[in-house]
Every structure is written in structure tokens, then in C-alpha cells.
Chain A
Amino acid sequence: MTKNLRVKTSRFIDETYKVSFKFNGTTYYGYKGDTLASALLANNVHLVGRSFKYHRPRGIMTAGSEEPNAIVQLHKNTSRTEPNVRATEIEIYEGLEASSQNCWPSVNFDIGGINNFLSPILPAGFYYKTFMWPASFWEKYEYFIRKSAGLGKSPKEPDPDIYEHKYIHCDVLVIGAGISGVMAAKSSAKNGYKTLLVDEKPYLGGSTIYQNSEHFKINNQISSSWLEKEINEIKKIKNLEIKTRTSVAAFHGYNFLLARENLTDHLPLEQRNNKTRHRLLKIRAKKVITATGSLERPLIFNNNDRPGILLSSAIEKYANLYGVACGEKNVLFTNNDSAYETAISLNQKGINIEAIIDNREEIDSKLINEIEKNNIKIHKGYTIVDTFGYKRINKVSIMKLSKDGQKVIGSKTSIDCDCLGISGGWTPAVHLFTQSGGKLKFRDEDQVFIPNIYPSNQISIGSCNGEFTLDEILLTIPKTLKEFLNLKDIDFEDLEIESSFNKSKRNIWLLPSDKVIGKTKPFIDYQNDATAKDIKLALREGFRSIEHVKRYTTTGMGTDQGKLGNMHALGIISETVGSKMGELGTTTFRPPYTPLTFGTIVGRNVGEYFDIFRKTPIHDWHVQNKAEFENVGQWKRAWYYPKDGENMHDAVQRESKAARDSAGILDASTLGKIDIQGTDASEFLNRVYTNAWSKLAIGKCRYGLMLNEDGMVYDDGVTTRLDENHYIMTTTTGGAATVLGKLEDYLQTEWPELDVYLTSVTDHYATVSVCGPNSKKIVSQVIPDLDFSDESFPHMSFKNAKIGKIKCRVMRISFTGEHSYEINIQANYGKSVWEKCMEVGKEFKITPYGTETMHLLRAEKGFIIVGQDTDATMTPIDLQMDWIVSKKKYDFIGKRSLYRSDTIREDRKQLVGLLTENPDEILEEGAQIVADIKKSPVEMLGHVTSSYYSPNLKKSIALGVVKGGKNMMGQKLIIPMEDKQISVTVADPVFLDKENKRLNA
């Protein structure tokens, strides 16, 4: 079958540069400038894939990004493999390896092809209808469905390529470098606007650039020659940036667009290393000019999907641009004049045309006359009723259309062919326009949707605005541009134009056949095998909304997003239900216009840059000392420090014991710190915390609980009064940013009269916390000049101090229930203070402990962790922390909510301690708590929020929330687990040292 169908040379193809590539294991040759599709067609390869549902053989259908069939897998089984690449877009390079998807064992012999014969029992919604029962079988069905479905294989190894993101700001963005876009870019840039022109193809000039017809002239030059001169001119304009191989994926509000610039996909693999592959451009443009052109429509008739059937414009492009004949016996089938342009191009290149079938009865134009002069048979008023040939079309049969176009009449004739070009007119590519929020209107005369209402400073020009002919484009655009860009003069005002295009068209959405519709396969969505029959079935079953019909039949849901057939689906629906096209609307056009790789979306945010994290000034020490880390907010916190092969449990037990028996040291630098100053600082604290602050003496610390306005606990922490009008507030590690935001909100919007200033100083200080009975001995050696006597420096107080010459703040506060000190020092001294503590603490076996031990120690004392023991449904009363809620204060954030009918319910979930019957049994955090497991359904009373084995109490302890738990002290409850039921007793949440003796020891 291998033949060379390369015809006359094309100036877009470098015939001195031969490129070898592999398709499905066979080596072929093409030239530099070829796409995979053009190179395959030159080798007479049409069959490239199988359809999704029926596994029907499919061939190359288009020559652009709308391709539904020719999607291939590149470089199978390598890290660079990529599925769903359109053969019509990928440029060939030496060593390219591509293979067909969705077929097994091969595209020539595909077992799934049996679905084609089963198609009568595989209607729309087949999977929905069939695999519903019995529900328990779904897992079995799913395995086979998933195996036979799916398009291509994703790579299993990490992506070796580099991707990046770039922001671009410009005055004018022009999308599409066809004749309209080139004119727009020139007018814009020459008048001083910083302009960016992008096009998805590697060349500029759109479809005009490969026109070579005497019938289309501008200023007496063939349109392509005229355009080429213009292109050469715009390349010299300084404030015009041109990006080819750049496809706009999304057009968002406020003229924010995303485009993918493809930098290396056309290069041989060995030339790609260390180069950026794709660049995601984030474009903010003051004005956008959309010149995205239009897509040719197929025609919908029986068996319109065989390999060898292409869009007529694609055949023309392959001939003119790539110098490739798609077949030797070509037939064209059309309802408008554009197929005659193709015919003239083919004729010029000596490519044989067997016949042209035209829906229209009465036609007349210069193009048609030229074809008739060349003795090419035109069947006027005819339609194709069927096609033949399994892996390649070999025959069409045609019949005469009735006057109303609803039936076929007369006798059937056959025409042999090996290639069929179809043209159903043109659909403006309004995808980007509608993505941006633009509203369309329907133009009845040629049945197209065109832009109507623009949501931002943008305009659509050329054929994406429904201006399809050269004279229309050249006459409208200068005026439009002048107005849109506020220009006095424009270059293109007095062009002489010759255009022979006749706009007449006979639009029949679904062409009739001599067979009943149930026996035909008129494909609308090629990739998903949705036919006109499926759409009619959906309508019969009661679907009316176009969005529902789309999802039920999968029309327009493939990787091509229905670029070809969506209009026909709409047309058939409106005809069947008898509504107007304009009223039916369209399905939503969603970004991306063409698929993006994940790499492009992610850019450089991979590996360690995937998610940013924050390190404390002491981080390196933790790393050197083999700490395991835990993520808390964005922070990496030392979790525990395993010694000699200890597991987490053993390490935490050792650390917890050491902290209570002698001394422990914790890096508390991550706690949020907010510096509060101003004459109203005390009043401000009074309003944001539940307890009273006015009487807090200078040099004293106080624990505070902050609520939301709904009365639920929001954050907690210790705040210290440094001076009359100066406080430092600490927040939870994860809450630092939101607490600051909330405080600022109240200050700016509710209480702007307060004289208060807030500054986040979290990163400015390192905090070293030393706790345990020997903490005083250690800290007093680190800061020898300070009076550490209990009289001078009692629990919950603060002192300014110096370590050497460096100022620091020392607080005697405790989250462990032990005698403990926190040294706050300028961040860059944090590590040296830590090391100093370790050094002097050696004789007391000072033990570094991580967050897990911290959690265990505080749980022994019944101290809550906001976010672990609370979950935005807990009031301070629920937490049994009534003592911290001021009864005297007139108001504070959340006060009124504490006596809403709901918050005063007795049966709210309340925080309690839980003790297991077996002291060695450790509960699972999150486990459900019930009273009666025989009751059906079992009533869930609450859940375990914190649970540990306490080495100091030598028993398991837990905190949990239980409905009405406050009044259940001593009561037995059950924790049902998968394999057992654990009996627990409700207890006081303070398990250790209720009298706080250790704090003052």
C-alpha cells in the first residue's frame, strides 16, 4: 500500500531535509515542515485510530486542532510519552515515534471492533442503563469498562522536561495570525500600542497564506503574496511581539488570558535537554482582538466517518501547504462554494477529482464555472446516502434530494473513490469569546452563532466574527479596527479586492438517506461515536436541555470538545423538538480550548517547590539531630527525635518522661506573635478575648481565649503586657495569619476609633522553651544576670533580659504544666541560644522534644489544642472553661452568642477526659463514642479528640467530646472498634497535677 502521494513541492516544506519517523512500528519518511498527519498522508496512511465506543477504523479528518480522530500516543513506554496528541498538530522530527490509541492488538485488527456489530444494542446511555444493577457488581463491571475505555496511557515516570510560567502585560493582544490578525497587529503596533500577536501554528498567515488562486486578489496580487509582504513588514515593527506555536487556552474576565507557548515539541528528543518545553503565558491585555478564524463543518450522512473522509478544507491545506494528495480518486461533497476552492487547488496540482456532489440545485459562481470548464462532473441537488470500505473509503452512493431536503428521490448511483472531502460551511471559532463571558447571537441566513455582546474591552474580527469571504473581511476590518483602537488613519482602507466566493449555502443538519435512521450511522461526534440516532433517542427519552443531551449522548465530550459536530447536534435537536436554534443556546465552551499538559499548568512548582514551607531559625539543628518533621500550617516542625532506632512511640515516651523528670527543650518559634501597641491596647484585648485584661499588671502574662462572633472558640494563646500600652500576643501556629487578619478587620471596620497598632512579628523572634523541674537551673545559667527567684519571677510573668549583649524577653509560662521558661530572642540568635541551653543542660540530661511530646504533656494537664479538641462547634462552656469567660464585661467578640437558645443546650457535645478500663489500651483519635450499642440505629454521642499513653501516669489517657458529657462524670461509655468494644469511663480532663504544684515547684 505504500505509495508516495507527495505532489508538487510546497514552499512550506523543506524537501532537502528528510525526516524519518515511526508510526505503529513502521518507519516512514517525511520532510521538515510536515505534521505527523501530512507525512502519513504522503505515505498513503489514512487509518490511524479506532473510535472510542464502537472501535470503528478512523482516519485523519482535519488539518488542525479540531481533529477528533487522529490522536496518537508519542514515545510509548518512555518518560516522555504523551497520550492524545493530535497528529495534525505535531510537527515531525527525526526519531519521532507515534502509535495509535484505543485499539488492541493493533489498529488494523482491533478486537473491540466487535462493538461496531453490537452497536444496535449499545445505544446512548447504554452504560448508565446496563451497569446499574445489581449495585454490588459495579466494581466488577468497572474493571472491564475502564480497561476498554480510556484514551492513551499516561507516563509512569517523572516528567523530565522543564516548564515555566510568565506574566505578560500588553496594550493589545491579537489572537490568531491569519489575514485578519496580521492586519490588526500591524494597525495596533504601528500606532504605538505594545502588541502581542499569537498563533497556534508554526507559521503566520492562517489559511490565506497557502491560497494560490487567481480568484482571490488584493491590489492585483494573489491574496497569499499580498499577505506575505504584510507579514514580512510586521516582523520589523519594534513594539510588536510575535509568538507562534502559542495557543490561547483560556480567556477569562478582565482580559486575563492563558496561553501555552510550545518551545521544544518540534525538536528531536536529544535537542530538548535543559530547555523549557512549554511556557504558560499569563496575559493581561488592555484590549484583545480575537481573530481565531472558523472551523469547517462536516456533513452528517450515513457512514460519514470512514478513513479517507476529510474536511474539504483539510484536503486543500494538505495539497497547498504540504504538497500532499490525500487520494488519487477524490470526490468532494458540499453545500457551499468552499469545496470548489479545494477543487481548483487540486486541479492546479494535477490531483484527480472524480466528481463533486453539491446539495444545492441551482448554483452559479466563477469558481463553479472554472470547475465545469475543466470537465469535472458536478452532481447538483444530490446527497451521499452511504459510503463503503472498512479501513478506507472506496465508494459512495448518491441520490437526488427532494425539494424540501427531507427525503431522497430517484435512483441510486455509485462513484468509486479513495478520498472524500466534505464541506458543510463554516462555524466561527467563538470558543474564546464565549469563555470570556461574551454572548452570542444566531444568524439565520447562514445558520451560525456570532459574537453579539462583549463583556470586556475586546473585539472579534474576521471569520470568527462571521465574516467568511475575503471581500467581507477586507471591507469590514479596517473600519472596525479604526474604531476599536481609536486610530485616525489605517493602512488598509483603499484595497482593491477581487473575490469570487458566492455565499449561497443549503444547510441540512442531518442529510436524508434511503434507509430509516435506525439503520444508519451518521456520526456527529466522531471521537465519542455519538450519532444523530443517539440524539434523537435522547430526545425521545425526554431530554430537552442541550446540556443534558450532551452528557447523555457524550456529544462534544471528547478531547476535541465537539469542535466539529456540536452545531449539528444543536441543529438536529432544534429541528426535532421544533424550536429555533437561537433560543436553544449552545453548550458551555469551557477552557482550555486545546488541552494543556499538567507540566504546563504546574510550571516550576514541582518537587521541593510544589508547596512552600517555612523553617524556624533552629531548623538546621533539628535536621542534624535526626528529627522527624511534621507539617503545621506551612511550617516544618520537629515532631520527635528518634534515638538508636526508636520508633515514634518509644521516642515520645522517653521525651515525655524526661521533660517531667528533669528538663525538656522545645522549639516554639512557630507560634504566631503579634505586637500590639497604642493607648487603647488594653481595651482592644478586652473586646477580642473572653476574659478581662484591664487589670493585667505590666510584666505579667495571661492566657486568653478568642471566639468568633458565633461564640465558637477560634484561637488561644498567652499575651504579655510589656508596658503600659504595649502587649505581645501569641497565637496558635496555624492561626497566626487569620488571627491578625481578624483583629485588623475589627480595628478597621468596627472600632476605627481605637488607638491600636498591630504588627506581625512571628518571624522576627525565635522562641526556645525549656521546661521541667531543672529548667530554672538551666535558664539561669544561660542568663546569669537575671533574678530567677519565685518572688521576683513567678509563674505567668515576664522579664527583659540580655544574653551577652543581645536583648531578649523571657516569659515564665507553661503549656506542659511544668515549671518552664520561654526565651524570645531576635531570630538569628535563636540557634545559638538553643545550643547554649543544650550545653548547660547536659548535666541535667536536657532532652529536646517535638510537637508530639508537647501534645502528650499538655493532654496530661487537660490543656486544649484549638483545632484538635475543638472544631468550630465548641464554645468555651462546652470546653468546661467557664472560668475564662468574664461575666462582668459588657461585650466581647462572641459574647452574645454564648446564650443563644442553641449554645445553652445541656446536651451539646462537651469536652471530657476518657480513661480506659485497661490502662494499656490506647484509643484511636477520631473513634466514635456511644452509650448503647444495642439501640438501632446506634446513637453517636461524640468522638475521641486526643489520645496518648502517659508515661508519667503509666496509663492511657484521652480527651473527647461527648453529648452532655459534663454531667456524665464517672459514667461508663463504649468505643466500638472494628474488632472489639472498648469500655471507657468519663473523667476530669485534667489528669495530672490538678493543683498546679509542678508549675511553681
Chain B
Amino acid sequence: MFVINCPYCGEREQSEFKAGGEAHIVRPKQPTELSDDQWAEYLFMRKNIKGIQFERWVHTHGCRKWFNVVRDTSNDMIKAVYKMGEKPPTK
């Protein structure tokens, strides 16, 4: 069980949070203009990386805010947290 540094509340136990899958997948603004394949790409395709992964988390049993986490899935080490709308760290 890891400790997540919520950008709004600070360090809390993992059990207070819920994971929300890969980050930075933006819902298309005009879904009706997409082909089946393009829509399927948005809807179904997700990365499952061994290593550095950008993902969404929500502080369910806390402030209920969504934010982004950079996690190394091979050892669960969290490299960075940042708010929704902020640019992902490059390093």
C-alpha cells in the first residue's frame, strides 16, 4: 500500500484513493465526426507499461479531486503528482 501526495491534501494512504486509468486521454470534442476506428481508439486503447506510466487518481475519501500521478509500475514508486490541466513533468 503506497502513500500518495494529493496535490490538495498532502500525503495520504493509498486506501483513500482510487485509480482512474491512463492520463491525458482527452475526450474528443466532436465525437460524431469520428470514424468507428477513431472512436474506438479513444474508447478502448490504453497503455499498460512496465515502467513510467502517467495515470489519473482521485482522492475519493478525501477532497474528491482528480489529479495526475507519474508512477513506475515496476516498483510502484511515484515520481510526480500534478493537478488536472497542468502539463506533465518532462523529467
CB pair B39–A900 under 8 Å, yes or no, is yes
A901 beta carbon closer than 8 Å to chain B: yes
Contact flag A254-B2 (CB < 8 Å), given A710-B43, A750-B27, A900-B40: yes
Contact, CB under 8 Å: A895 / B43 = no
Chain A residues, Cβ within 8 Å of B18:
741
CB pair B1–A252 under 8 Å, yes or no, is yes
Pick from A256, A745, A895, A896: contact of B20, CB under 8 Å:
A745
Check if A748 is an interface residue, CB within 8 A of chain B: yes
Q: Are B3 and A896 in contact (CB under 8 A)?
A: no
Q: Is the CB of B2 within 8 A of A253?
A: yes
Q: Check if A17 is an interface residue, CB within 8 A of chain B.
A: no
> B18-43 CB contact bits vs A (8 Å, 1 = yes)?
10100000110011101010011001
Give Cα A897 to B58, complex, Å: 26
Contacts of B27 in A (CB 8 A): 709, 750
Query: Are the CB atoms of B1 and A256 closer together than 8 Å?
Result: yes
**Identity of the chain B residue whose Cβ is nearest the Cβ of A902 in the assembled complex:** B36
Q: Is the CB of A752 within 8 A of B32?
A: no
Taking the complex as formed, is A128 at the interface, i.e. its CB lies under 8 A from any CB of chain B? no
B35-67 CB contact bits vs A (8 Å, 1 = yes)? 010011001000000000000101010001110
Chain A residue nearest to B30 (CB atoms) is: A891
Tell yes or no: A749 within 8 A of B by CB.
yes
Q: How far is the CB of A482 from chain B (nearest CB, A)?
A: 26
- Is A890 interfacial (CB-CB < 8 Å)? yes
Question: Would you call B89 an interface residue if the criterion is a C-beta within 8 Å of the partner chain's C-beta atoms?
Answer: no
Q: How far is the CA of A727 from the CA of B39 in the complex (A)?
A: 32
Q: Does A455 contact B (CB under 8 A)?
A: yes
* Known A900-B36, A900-B39: A748·B3 in contact at CB below 8 Å: no
Cβ of B76 < 8 Å from any Cβ of A?
yes
**Chain B nearest Cβ from A727, distance in angstroms:** 19
Contact of B43 among A254, A437, A741, A897 (CB under 8 A): A897
Q: In the complex, how many angstroms separate the beta carbon of A253 from the nearest chain B beta carbon? A: 5
Contact B84 A748 (CB under 8 A): yes
A171 on the B face (CB < 8 A): no
| Contact partners of A750 in chain B: CB under 8 A | 26-27
A907 at the interface (CB under 8 A from B): no
Q: Is A744 an interface residue (CB 8 A)?
A: yes
Residue of A nearest to B42 (CB): A709
Given contacts A744-B64, A900-B36, contact A254 B58 (CB under 8 A): no
B75 at the interface (CB under 8 A from A): yes
Which of B13, B30, B58, B75 is in CB contact (< 8 Å) with A745?
A: B58
Provide the residues of chain B in CB contact with A890, threshold 8 Å. 32
> What residues on B are CB-neighbors of A748 within 8 Å?
65-66, 84
Q: Answer yes or no: B10 CB below 8 A from chain A CBs.
A: no
* B13: chain A residues within 8 A (beta carbon): 284
Q: How far is the CB of B42 from chain A (nearest CB, A)?
A: 8
Interface pair B66/A709, CB less than 8 Å apart: no
User: Which range holds the interface residue count of chain A?
Assistant: 20 to 34
- Residues on B with C-beta less than 8 A from A710 are 43
What residue of chain B has the Cβ atom nearest to residue A254's Cβ? B2
Q: Give the docked Cα–Cα distance between A410 and B84 (Å).
A: 79
Closest to B78 in A: A254
A891 near B32 with CB under 8 A, answer yes
Bound CA span A897–B31, Å: 9
What residues of B have a CB within 8 angstroms of the CB of A891 in the complex? 30-32
Residue of A nearest to B23 (CB): A749
**A896 cross-chain contacts in B, Cβ below 8 A:** 31-32, 34, 39
Given that A437-B75, A710-B43, A900-B40 are known contacts, is A254 also in contact with B31, CB under 8 Å in the complex? no
Of all chain A residues, which has the CB nearest B44? A710
- List A contacts of B65 (CB < 8 A): 748
Determine the distance from Cα of A970 to Cα of B71 in the docked complex, in whole angstroms. Answer: 57
**Contact (Cβ within 8 A) B32 A749:** no
Chain A residues near B30 (CB, 8 Å)? 891
Who on chain A is nearest to B56 by CB? A749
A31 shortest CB reach to chain B, Å: 43
Interface centre among B18, B26, B32, B66 (most CB of A within 10 A): B66
Give chain B's interface residue range (CB within 8 Å of chain A).
20 to 34
Closest-by-CB residue of B relative to A256 is B1
A895 to B1, CA, bound (A): 38
Contact (Cβ within 8 A) A901 B75? no
B60 adjacent to A895 (CB under 8 Å): no
Chain B residues within an 8 Å CB radius of A252: 1
In the complex, A895→B31 CA distance in Å?
8
Contact present for B56 and A253 (CB under 8 Å): no
Separation of A900 and B40 alpha carbons in the complex (Å): 9
Q: Specify which chain B residues have a CB less than 8 angstroms from the CB of A455 in the assembled complex.
A: 75, 77
| Contact between chains at A254 and B56 (CB < 8 Å) | no
CA–CA, A752 to B85, complex, Å?
A: 9
Given the contacts A891-B31, A895-B31, A900-B40, A745 and B1 also touching, CB distance less than 8 Å: no
Report the nearest A residue to B60, measured CB to CB.
A741
Q: Give complex CA distance A236, B32 in Å.
A: 73
**Closest CB-CB distance, A305 to chain B, in whole Å?**
40
Q: In the docked arrangement, what's the CA distance between A406 and B32, Å? A: 76
> Do A254 and B75 touch across chains, with their CB atoms under 8 A apart?
no
Docked CA distance A252–B15 (Å) = 14
A280 → chain B closest CB, angstroms: 14
CA distance A253 to B34 in the complex (A): 43
Max count, chain B CB within 10 A of own CB: residue among A254, A710, A741, A750:
A254
Contacts of B32 in A (CB 8 A): 890-891, 895-896
**Contact A253–B1 (Cβ < 8 Å):** yes
* B2 closest partner in A (C-beta): A254
- Cβ–Cβ < 8 Å partners of A895 in chain B: 31-32
Is B3 touching A254 in the complex (CB atoms < 8 A)? yes
Chain A 428-441 per-residue mask, 1 if CB under 8 angstroms from chain B, else 0 = 00000000010000
A:440-487 near B, CB below 8 Å: 455
Q: Considering only CB atoms, which chain B residue lies closest to A455 in the complex?
A: B75
Bound form: Cα–Cα A709–B66 in Å: 19
The reply to whether A752 and B75 form a contact with Cβ atoms under 8 Å apart is: no
**A449 CA to B88 CA in the complex, in Å?**
40
Measured CA separation A750–B36 after assembly (Å): 21
Considering only residues 663-718 of chain A, those with a C-beta below 8 Å from chain B are 709-710
Q: Do A752 and B43 touch across chains, with their CB atoms under 8 A apart?
A: no
Whole-angstrom distance between the alpha carbons of A283 and B85 in the complex?
35
Residues 255-302 (chain A) with a chain B CB within 8 angstroms:
256, 284
A752 to B65, CA, bound (A): 12
Q: Check if A749 sits within 8 Å of B66, measured CB to CB.
A: yes
- Whole-angstrom distance between the alpha carbons of A749 and B20 in the complex? 11
Nearest CB in chain B: distance from A502 CB, A: 40
A254, B66: Cβ atoms under 8 Å?
Answer: no
Bound-state CA distance A225–B43 (Å) is: 70
A712 to B58 alpha-carbon distance, docked (Å): 24
Determine the residue in chain A with the shortest Cβ distance to B29: A891
Q: How far is the CA of A935 from the CA of B90 in the complex (A)?
A: 61
Whether the Cβ atoms of B76 and A253 lie closer than 8 Å is yes
Interface centre among B13, B31, B40, B84 (most CB of A within 10 A): B31
Are A897 and B39 also in contact (CB < 8 A) when A253-B76, A749-B66 are?
yes
Interface contacts beyond A253-B1, A896-B34: sample of 20 additional A-B pairs, CB < 8 Å, sorted by A: A252-B1, A253-B75, A256-B2, A284-B13, A437-B75, A455-B75, A710-B43, A741-B18, A741-B58, A744-B58, A744-B64, A745-B58, A748-B66, A752-B85, A891-B30, A895-B31, A895-B32, A897-B39, A900-B39, A901-B36
Give the 10 A-B residue pairs with the shortest CB-CB distance, closest first. Answer: A896-B31, A254-B2, A748-B66, A750-B27, A253-B76, A256-B1, A254-B3, A896-B39, A749-B66, A749-B84
**A–B complex contacts, Cβ < 8 Å, 26 sampled:** A252-B1, A253-B2, A253-B75, A254-B3, A254-B76, A256-B1, A256-B2, A284-B3, A437-B76, A455-B75, A455-B77, A710-B43, A744-B58, A744-B64, A745-B20, A748-B66, A749-B56, A749-B66, A752-B84, A752-B85, A891-B30, A895-B31, A896-B31, A896-B32, A896-B34, A900-B40
Chain A residues in contact with chain B, CB under 8 A? 252-254, 256, 284, 437, 455, 709-710, 741, 744-745, 748-750, 752, 890-891, 895-897, 900-901
Chain B residues packing against A (C-beta within 8 Å): 1-3, 13, 18, 20, 26-27, 30-32, 34, 36, 39-40, 43, 56, 58, 60, 64-66, 75-77, 84-85
